[in-house]
Homo-oligomer: A and B are copies of this chain.
Amino acid sequence: MKSKEIAMDEALSHIKDGMTLMIGGFIGNNEPIAAIDRLMELGVKDLTLIAVVNAYPGGGFGLGKLIENHQVKKFIGSHIGTCPAAVEQYKNGELEVEYYPQGTMIEKIRAGGAGLGGILTPTGVGTLMEEGKQKITLNGREYLLETAVRADVAIIRGYKADTMGNILYRGTPSSNPIMALAADYVIAEVDYVVEPGELEPDRIGTPGILVDAVVKGYGEEKTREIYRQLWAKKLA
């Protein structure tokens, strides 16, 4: 079987203007930062970006860069407050924002990947979230019907991959394993690529059948440096 490891630009060439893109991670943590940096240079635009949260607090890092670089026309997620550029663009009408509670957002993505039409959640009942949604009562409790969501492309971040595309995560994988099911083309950015059989079957977080392209990120050493520098600056 042909190795799924390909060059970064070849993988990113699947992302076209106007597409819907999912990016895994959580306000900076375990985000595919190398792919994002390159995507900024490539300049693809008018993206609809789906992420559970937004930029690392204060921006200037990870997926926040795509917004700061005006490549995103719509953001779908639970929060924009960590990204000053997103708040500003939303305010002035440049950026459309669709909010979902974080638990709802990830269930919508999971439903999209799992072939479900949607889920019924108690979250959001009695709030703005009810707008335009079906409300269903079961055993006297109200639920909102939240529908499935998918993307054209998802970029996820793993720690190691094998050439078959199996992904092993490290630390807090957050949204990455869920997004891996919910896009037509899945790019996995990792720090190591190994041979099939080198990853423990019990430890594989995303099987290779879900992954279309494996790309090398900055590597563990540079990743460590990048985050150490980031974390050395105190949060506001």
A contacts, CB < 8 Å to B: 107, 111, 114-122, 134, 136, 138, 141, 143, 145, 147, 169-171, 202-203
Looking at the complex, which one of B111, B122, B141, B171 makes contact with A119 (CB distance below 8 Å)?
A: B111
Q: Is the CB of A119 within 8 A of B116?
A: yes
Complex CA–CA separation, A203 to B169 (angstroms): 11
Q: What DSSP secondary structure best describes chain A's contact surface?
A: mixed
For the complex formed, measure the closest distance between the CB of A55 and the CB atoms of chain B, giving whole angstroms. Answer: 26
Complex CA–CA separation, A171 to B145 (angstroms): 36
A122 with B115: in contact, given A147-B138, A202-B170 (CB under 8 Å)? yes
Q: Is the CB of A138 within 8 A of B118?
A: yes
Complex CA–CA separation, A170 to B143 (angstroms): 36
For the complex formed, measure the closest distance between the CB of A176 and the CB atoms of chain B, giving whole angstroms. Answer: 13
Contacts A/B (CB < 8 Å), 27 sampled: A107-B114, A107-B116, A111-B119, A111-B120, A115-B121, A115-B122, A116-B119, A116-B120, A116-B121, A116-B143, A117-B120, A117-B121, A117-B122, A117-B136, A117-B138, A118-B119, A118-B138, A118-B143, A119-B119, A119-B120, A120-B145, A134-B136, A136-B145, A138-B147, A170-B202, A171-B202, A203-B203
Interface centre among A107, A117, A203 (most CB of B within 10 A): A117
For the complex formed, measure the closest distance between the CB of A162 and the CB atoms of chain B, giving whole angstroms. Answer: 17
